[in-house]
């Protein structure tokens, strides 16, 4: 057995080997050591090799999926090695013959299909990046749904595209220089031999997969695109051991089809992931009202890839507008969606022979709901709804077949049996009748034997070793084994508390029952295989139905959101307009609603002046204002309604965001270096249709260095990039640029001062801020009062020197103890005497006051206040 194990392991050196032994997957040697640590399971030993103990650990087969998920998340790959024959067959070759085993599947991050290993509401992409001479391309597939896409992708675009798709695993040719980029994107890297990326052989491989003579029927592909797609197919053949999933025909995605959003901007805007890395706090979590898994995945794709095609956006808007206005239809459709299953993933499991009766039932139940949904739609509705209705119909023959064949609630596994409905197959009904009648016969025999023996506690039982047997308590052993009973009851086994017997009649019945039960199960398995083939044969039409349901689910969810949150349909055109009235941040607004607070809406107009220079105090809401306008642009171009009173947006080609401070110590970058790298990417890539939001450029270095960088950056955006931009800063000197540059306007976030406190109004107005109120914000943050008072003294001195000029500031700084060469004296402490009211309140204990005393005290305090 160990020789067999080592031979199989040698063929799969990069994977942990789950070696099937009965009801367990066992691991040995280094695999066992690594797995026991990763899974926190006991490490034991079995046998010796070269006088050394062989480490061993194992997991139960029935619980293997949970352990697989843990291993995959920790970066392991797993080879699942199954027994390919029954142990009884192996014994026919000799007493010491080893059961045939082999790896039937390699489990990797990008090739998962089981529901328990996947997030139902997210895609699980496997990608491949290929370079052929001066061309490069990126292909990606979700084998759990069959979606297959490819695009031309320059090397400098790989990082943004990986940020958009978030694949779990990326295939690269051996020696590729892109490995660092892929790892930084958080994906697992798998190196394949360069032969897997050969475009000539790859074209033949793809033609064989789709059973076509040429790929021309699917579109025009570059050599790099064919290379990337072929590498994916080659890898799937390796990991699935030739049992390929259902892959849709590849779709070429244009480089200019979607709004370009780089990785830093996605993190800054928190489109699909919040600050914690999960969905919570993200825009996706805020807008997701889908009721189906496929709808949730489609919504995430739309949000990650807002469209730049005006016609596509308008079609989506028309459907959402129609459903927003017809609340009855929207509610009816959403009720239907609650019973829709994930057909794409069910089809994938069935194609890979990992599916069961419940997957076929999922198809049947979804077909039923699709018929109901189609009944509510017609050709007079917007184009998207009418087309969806067409894709939902025409499945009557398959639906009738599955309705007749399956019971209402089938088991998960075919080997459990009992999933074929009575009356569907006469041969099966006959076998079941014999099996079930046999159970009744056993019950009657038990009663007869109890009466014959006079032992009321006599039972007929069954196990896998003895089959059917008669069991009595040990106290009746002597009676059962002496005449005349021993002539009927044949002794088989004695245990501590029971004695077991059989009879000739019981053995005959057992043979009939076991044969009938096994025969019934074999018939059911054969019928399941037939149903599976029928379903897979219509996979293309079923996938189209699933896509239509997902499209409708997304439209209904977005219209429900628009109606509930008072969002509006934006005007989208090919102009350079950007006019928002009463815009709101969708995520912040929802969070405030939970606390019973109201979000302050603000206007934004970047049509006449392309750039707003935004000043104002910390904590006033500048970053929120910047982000909300970018998020509104994303929502508008994914086809959704937006949180505003009105919106007019000219198509945005790119969105760039440089908001917030963070370092990247792992790559040796300080906060300021990260800020400069991201700013450089914006200035080098932004075109005249881009929307750029920048916050506090230059704050990570010396004041005049930072001011000069921010100044030059704004000038470059205005003169060279000529894009629409929101530029927030605390450098008030930059407000002068509004007088020098025609496309720049000043705006500020309003505040009020009241008795030394700052009140944030969160209102964006035209104009400039007089100061940043940093000291007041520091006090709100809880800095010690002495520090705050000292900061006020220093700030006043610095501002005085700045006003007087001519070196006065330097002289004043030298006079401040803060900058003196000797030990600075303590800051003056202001002693505040308590008022009469304070003194009175100090001696009051509210719990001791009666209502009359409290009223009298209130009058007394009022008198003192005068």
Residues 82-102: pLDDT tens digits?
998 888 787 878 777 888 999
* Residue at 798 is within a domain: yes
- Asked if 460 and 329 sit in the same domain, the reply is no
* Residue at 470 is within a domain: yes
Q: Of 762, 593, 627, which Cα lies nearest the Cα of 270?
A: 627
* DSSP per-residue letters across 291-322: -SHHHHHHHHHHHHS-B--HHHHHHHHHHHHH
Query: Which residue did the predictor score with more confidence, 470 or 47?
Result: 470
- Asked if 589 and 724 sit in the same domain, the reply is yes
Which pLDDT belongs to residue 276? 80
Whole domain around residue 812: which residue ranges?
A: 783-819
Instruction: Give start and end residues of each alpha helix (H) in 566-650.
Output: 586-594, 622-637
Q: Are 398 and 538 in contact (CB under 8 A)?
A: yes
Which pLDDT belongs to residue 46? 84
Which pLDDT belongs to residue 91? 80
Asked whether residue 438 is marked as a ligand-binding residue, the answer is: no
Q: In this model, does residue 828 exceed pLDDT 60?
A: no
Which pLDDT belongs to residue 771? 66
* Residue at 411 is within a domain: no
Sign of the Cα torsion 627, 630, 270, 557 reads: positive
Q: Are 723 and 686 in contact (CB under 8 A)?
A: yes
- Whole-angstrom distance, CA of residue 193 vs CA of residue 172: 9
- Asked if 139 and 170 sit in the same domain, the reply is yes
Asked whether residue 617 is marked as a ligand-binding residue, the answer is: yes
- In the three-class reduction of DSSP (H, G, I as helix; E, B as strand; rest coil), residue 743 is classed as coil
Widest distance between CA atoms in the chain: 128
Give me the residue label for tokens 């005959």.
508
Domain boundary among 107, 132, 150: 107
Q: In this model, does residue 758 exceed pLDDT 60?
A: yes
Dihedral pair phi/psi, residue 491, rounded to 5°: -65, 135
- Whole-angstrom distance, CA of residue 26 vs CA of residue 24: 6
Which pLDDT belongs to residue 801? 65
Dihedral pair phi/psi, residue 51, rounded to 5°: 65, 15
* Residue at 159 is within a domain: yes
Which pLDDT belongs to residue 803? 59
Average pLDDT over residues 495-516: 86
Q: In this model, does residue 700 exceed pLDDT 80?
A: no
Q: Are 532 and 542 in contact (CB under 8 A)?
A: no
Domain CATH for 497? 1.10.1420.10
Asked whether residue 497 is marked as a ligand-binding residue, the answer is: no
Which pLDDT belongs to residue 825? 43
Tell me the range of 12-16, 319-323, 470-474, 840-844 where mean pLDDT is highest: 319-323
For residue 728, say if its preceding peptide bond is cis, omega within 30 degrees of 0. Answer: no
Q: Of 86, 77, 29, which Cα lies nearest the Cα of 56?
A: 29
- Whole-angstrom distance, CA of residue 294 vs CA of residue 859: 67
- Asked if 329 and 296 sit in the same domain, the reply is yes
162-166, Cβ contacts within 8 angstroms, sequence gap of 24 or more? 162/127, 162/187, 162/263, 163/261, 163/262, 163/263, 163/266, 164/258, 164/261, 164/266, 164/304, 164/305, 165/123, 165/125, 165/127, 165/140, 165/304, 166/125, 166/272
Summarize the chain as % helix, strand, coil (round to 5): 50, 20, 30
Q: Tell me the pLDDT tens digit for each residue of 203-214.
A: 999 999 999 999
- Asked if 792 and 767 sit in the same domain, the reply is no
Which pLDDT belongs to residue 822? 36
Arithmetic mean of pLDDT over the chain: 88
Q: Tell me the pLDDT tens digit for each residue of 544-572.
A: 999 999 999 999 999 999 999 999 999 99
- In the three-class reduction of DSSP (H, G, I as helix; E, B as strand; rest coil), residue 548 is classed as helix
Residues facing residue 472 across a β-bridge: 499
- Asked if 578 and 678 sit in the same domain, the reply is yes
Which pLDDT belongs to residue 818? 46
* Residue 527 pLDDT class (50, 70, 90 cuts): very high
Which pLDDT belongs to residue 820? 41
Which pLDDT belongs to residue 703? 73
Cα 619 → chain centroid: 32
* Lowest-pLDDT choice from 262-266, 720-724, 860-864: 860-864
- Whole-angstrom distance, CA of residue 384 vs CA of residue 312: 10
- Whole-angstrom distance, CA of residue 72 vs CA of residue 77: 6
Which pLDDT belongs to residue 261? 94
Q: Are 618 and 773 in contact (CB under 8 A)?
A: yes
Which pLDDT belongs to residue 499? 92
Q: Are 304 and 132 in contact (CB under 8 A)?
A: no
- Whole-angstrom distance, CA of residue 736 vs CA of residue 740: 7
Residues facing residue 473 across a β-bridge: 498
Average pLDDT over residues 295-310: 96
* Residue at 708 is within a domain: yes
- Asked if 101 and 127 sit in the same domain, the reply is no
Q: Tell me the pLDDT tens digit for each residue of 449-461.
A: 999 989 999 999 8
Q: Tell me the pLDDT tens digit for each residue of 642-660.
A: 999 999 999 999 999 988 6
Tell me the range of 336-350, 428-442, 458-472 where mean pLDDT is highest: 336-350
Asked whether residue 622 is marked as a ligand-binding residue, the answer is: yes
* Residue at 419 is within a domain: no
- Asked if 495 and 471 sit in the same domain, the reply is yes
Q: Tell me the pLDDT tens digit for each residue of 127-179.
A: 999 999 889 999 999 999 999 999 999 999 999 999 999 999 999 999 899 99
- Asked if 676 and 707 sit in the same domain, the reply is yes
Which pLDDT belongs to residue 824? 40
* Residue at 113 is within a domain: no
Q: In this model, does residue 819 exceed pLDDT 50?
A: no
CA distances from 515 to 372, 419, 438, 511 (A): 43, 19, 11, 6
CA distances from 79 to 236, 241, 282 (A): 14, 11, 36
- Asked if 737 and 592 sit in the same domain, the reply is yes
Query: Of all residues in the chain, what percent carry a pLDDT higher than 90?
Result: 58
Query: Which residue did the predictor score with more confidence, 425 or 438?
Result: 425
Domain CATH for 19? 3.40.1170.10
* Residue at 402 is within a domain: no
Average pLDDT over residues 798-810: 58
- Quick one: angle between helices 504-537 and 426-453, nearest 10? 160
Query: Of all residues in the chain, what percent carry a pLDDT higher than 70?
Result: 94
- Asked if 633 and 736 sit in the same domain, the reply is yes
- Asked if 547 and 686 sit in the same domain, the reply is no
Q: Of 782, 760, 778, which Cα lies nearest the Cα of 769?
A: 760
> What's the structural domain count of the chain?
7
Q: Of 56, 1, 6, which Cα lies nearest the Cα of 28?
A: 56
Which pLDDT belongs to residue 188? 93
B/e letters for 665-695, b = 16+ CB within 10 Å, e = fewer, are eeeeeebbebbbebbebbeebbeebbbbbbb
Q: Are 17 and 8 in contact (CB under 8 A)?
A: yes
Q: Of 539, 530, 120, which Cα lies nearest the Cα of 341?
A: 120
Which pLDDT belongs to residue 385? 94
* Residue 715 pLDDT class (50, 70, 90 cuts): very high
Q: Tokens representing 50?
A: 């070269």
Tell me the range of 115-119, 443-447, 555-559 where mean pLDDT is highest: 555-559
- Whole-angstrom distance, CA of residue 584 vs CA of residue 589: 7
Which pLDDT belongs to residue 796? 76
- Whole-angstrom distance, CA of residue 654 vs CA of residue 195: 37
* Residue 834 pLDDT class (50, 70, 90 cuts): low
CA distances from 324 to 307, 317, 566 (A): 21, 10, 11
- Whole-angstrom distance, CA of residue 792 vs CA of residue 798: 10
Burial of 2 (0-12, 13-18, 19+ CB in 10 A): middle
- Whole-angstrom distance, CA of residue 739 vs CA of residue 125: 51
Which pLDDT belongs to residue 419? 93
- Whole-angstrom distance, CA of residue 698 vs CA of residue 593: 35
Tell me the range of 52-56, 579-583, 776-780 where mean pLDDT is highest: 579-583
* Residue 833 pLDDT class (50, 70, 90 cuts): low
Which pLDDT belongs to residue 845? 80
CA distances from 572 to 264, 311, 382 (A): 26, 10, 18
Asked whether residue 282 is marked as a ligand-binding residue, the answer is: no
Average pLDDT over residues 370-391: 93
Cα 262 → chain centroid: 19
Give me the residue label for tokens 């940020």.
163
Domain boundary among 40, 73, 107: 107
* Residue 126 pLDDT class (50, 70, 90 cuts): very high
Asked whether residue 801 is marked as a ligand-binding residue, the answer is: no
Q: Are 591 and 565 in contact (CB under 8 A)?
A: no
């Amino acid at each position: 057995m160990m020789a067999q194990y080592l031979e199989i392991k040698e063929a799969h050196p990069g994977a942990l080997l789950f070696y099937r032994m009965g009801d367990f997957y066992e691991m040995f040697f280094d695999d066992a050591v690594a797995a026991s640590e990763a899974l926190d399971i006991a490490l034991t030993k079995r046998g010796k090799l070269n006088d050394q103990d062989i480490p061993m650990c194992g997991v139960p087969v029935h619980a293997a999926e949970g352990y697989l998920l843990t291993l995959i998340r920790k970066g392991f790959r797993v080879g699942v090695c199954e027994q390919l024959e029954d142990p009884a067959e192996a014994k026919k070759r000799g007493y010491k013959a080893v059961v045939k085993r082999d790896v039937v599947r390699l489990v990797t991050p990008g090739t998962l299909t089981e529901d328990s290993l996947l997030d139902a509401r997210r895609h699980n992409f496997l990608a491949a990046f290929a370079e052929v001479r001066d061309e490069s391309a990126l292909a990606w597939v979700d084998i759990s749904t069959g979606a297959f896409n490819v695009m031309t992708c320059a090397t400098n675009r790989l990082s943004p595209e990986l940020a958009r798709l978030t694949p779990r695993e990326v295939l690269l040719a051996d020696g590729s220089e892109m490995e660092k980029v892929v790892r930084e994107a958080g994906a697992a890297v798998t190196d394949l031999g360069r032969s897997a990326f050969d475009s000539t052989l790859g074209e033949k491989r793809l033609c064989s997969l789709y059973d076509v003579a040429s790929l021309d029927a699917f579109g025009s592909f570059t050599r790099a695109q064919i290379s990337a797609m072929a590498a994916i197919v080659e890898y799937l053949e390796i990991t699935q051991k030739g049992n390929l999933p259902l892959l849709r025909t590849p779709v070429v995605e244009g480089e200019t089809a979607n709004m370009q959003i780089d990785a830093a901007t996605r993190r800054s805007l928190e489109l699909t992931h919040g600050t914690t890395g999960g969905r919570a706090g993200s825009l996706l979590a805020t807008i997701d009202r889908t009721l189906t898994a496929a709808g949730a995945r489609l919504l995430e794709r739309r949000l990650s890839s807002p469209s730049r095609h005006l016609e596509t956006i308008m079609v989506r808007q028309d459907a959402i507008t129609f459903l927003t206005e017809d609340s009855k239809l929207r509610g009816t459709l959403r009720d239907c969606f609650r019973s829709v299953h994930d057909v794409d993933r069910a089809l994938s499991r069935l194609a890979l022979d990992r599916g069961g009766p419940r997957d076929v039932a999922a198809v049947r139940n979804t077909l039923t709901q699709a018929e109901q949904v189609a009944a509510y739609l017609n050709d007079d509705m917007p184009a998207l709804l009418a087309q969806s209705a067409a894709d939902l119909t025409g499945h009557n023959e398959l639906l009738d077949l599955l309705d007749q064949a399956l019971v209402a609630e089938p088991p998960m596994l075919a080997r459990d049996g009992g999933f074929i409905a009575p009356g569907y197959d006469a041969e099966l009904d006959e076998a079941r009748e014999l099996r079930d009648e046999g159970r009744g016969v056993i019950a009657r025999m038990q009663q007869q034997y109890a009466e014959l023996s006079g032992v009321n506690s006599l039972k007929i039982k069954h196990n896998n070793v003895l089959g059917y047997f008669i069991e009595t308590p040990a106290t009746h052993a002597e009676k059962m084994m002496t005449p005349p009973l021993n002539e009927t009851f044949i002794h088989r086994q004695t245990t501590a508390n029971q004695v077991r017997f059989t009879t000739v009649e019981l053995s005959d019945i057992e043979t009939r029952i076991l044969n009938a039960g096994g025969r019934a199960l074999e018939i059911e398995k054969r019928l399941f295989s037939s149903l599976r083939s029928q379903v897979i044969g219509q996979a293309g039409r079923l996938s189209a139905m699933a896509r239509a349901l997902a499209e409708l689910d997304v439209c209904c969810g977005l219209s429900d959101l628009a109606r509930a949150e008072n969002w509006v349909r934006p005007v989208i055109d090919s102009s350079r307009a950007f006019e928002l009235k009463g815009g709101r941040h969708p995520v912040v607004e929802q969070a405030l609603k939970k606390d019973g607070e109201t979000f302050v809406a603000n206007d934004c107009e970047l049509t006449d002046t392309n750039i707003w220079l935004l000043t104002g105090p910390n904590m006033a809401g500048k970053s929120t204002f910047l982000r909300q306008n970018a998020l509104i642009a994303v929502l508008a171009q994914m086809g959704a309604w937006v949180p505003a009173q009105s919106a007019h947006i000219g198509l945005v080609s790119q969105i760039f965001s440089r908001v917030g401070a963070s370092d990247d110590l792992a790559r040796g970058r300080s906060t300021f270096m990260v800020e400069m790298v991201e700013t450089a990417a914006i200035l080098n890539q932004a075109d005249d249709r881009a929307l750029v939001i920048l916050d506090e450029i230059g704050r990570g270095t010396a004041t005049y260095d930072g001011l000069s960088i921010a100044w030059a950056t704004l000038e470059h955006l205005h003169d060279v990039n000529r894009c629409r931009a929101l530029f927030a800063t605390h450098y008030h000197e930059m407000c002068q640029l509004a007088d020098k540059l025609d496309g720049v306007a000043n705006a500020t976030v309003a505040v009020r001062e009241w008795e030394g406190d700052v009140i944030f109004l969160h209102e964006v107005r035209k104009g400039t801020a007089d100061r940043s109120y940093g000291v007041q914000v520091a006090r709100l943050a809880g800095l010690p009062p002495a520090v705050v008072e000292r900061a006020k003294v220093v700030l006043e001195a610095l501002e005085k020197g700045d006003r007087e000029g001519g070196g006065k500031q330097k002289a004043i700084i030298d006079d401040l103890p803060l900058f003196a060469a000797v030990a600075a004296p303590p800051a003056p402490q202001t002693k505040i005497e308590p008022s009469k009211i304070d003194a009175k309140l100090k001696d009051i204990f509210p719990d001791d006051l009666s209502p009359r005393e409290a009223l009298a005290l209130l009058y007394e305090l009022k008198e003192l206040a005068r």
